Amino acid sequence: MTTPPRVRRNSASTGTVVLDDLSKQIIEQLQNDGRMPYAAIGKAVGLSEAAVRQRVQRLQDAGVMQIVAVTDPLTLGFPRQAMIGVNCEGDLESVADELSAIDEIDYVVLTAGSFDLIVEVVCEGDGHLLEILSKIRAIPAVRATESFVYLKLRKQTYSWGTR
């Protein structure tokens, strides 16, 4: 019998999940290669294939991780990427929901500081970026936007999850 993964909610009100070392090692293996077979992960971390499969499923069910394919926008014909800072008034949550409904926006975060919200977009070009900005500015609560166009991506990693 294998040990179940240590996926438990922190007793504090933060809602964070506490992972044991084996679950962290499994996540690290999948971050290196999301297609790695469970048998190979098991060999690397000292568990059976079935135990790894069980842990991965529990980690996914707990919302700790998801396994996805990450694409390169440039190679798929999306040469323009940008972060857009949004200043608005009223209920930030409802504005965030409206922004989230725009297909081209792939990242929405409520922030403290100069902007109320920051969104990330991946576009087919400058004209497409202008269309998206028009959609954002058409939301009644949006007061101003500031665009930060990506000139060159130097680093993009998703390996921070088990530090």
Among residues 82, 154, 77, which one has the least CA distance to residue 122?
Answer: 82
84 vs 163, residue with greater confidence: 84
Three-state DSSP state, 32:
helix
Residue 153: its pLDDT value, please?
A: 82
Look-up of token digits 């009644």: 140
Mean of pLDDT values over 12-39: 86
Residue 163: its pLDDT value, please?
A: 62
Indicate the angle between helix axes 49-61 and 38-45, nearest 10 degrees.
100
Residue 4: its pLDDT value, please?
A: 47
Mean of pLDDT values over 140-151: 96
Residue 69: its pLDDT value, please?
A: 82
* Average pLDDT along the chain: 88
25 vs 156, residue with greater confidence: 25
| Interval 86-127: pLDDT, tens | 999 999 999 999 999 999 999 999 999 999 999 999 999 999
Mean of pLDDT values over 154-158: 79
Mean of pLDDT values over 156-162: 71
Name the band, by pLDDT with cuts 50, 70 and 90, for residue 8.
Answer: low
pTM of the model: 0.74
Among residues 148, 142, 21, which one has the least CA distance to residue 84?
Answer: 148
Residue 11: its pLDDT value, please?
A: 45
Q: Judge whether residue 41 has pLDDT over 60.
A: yes
d(CA 137, CA 88): 10
d(CA 122, CA 138): 19
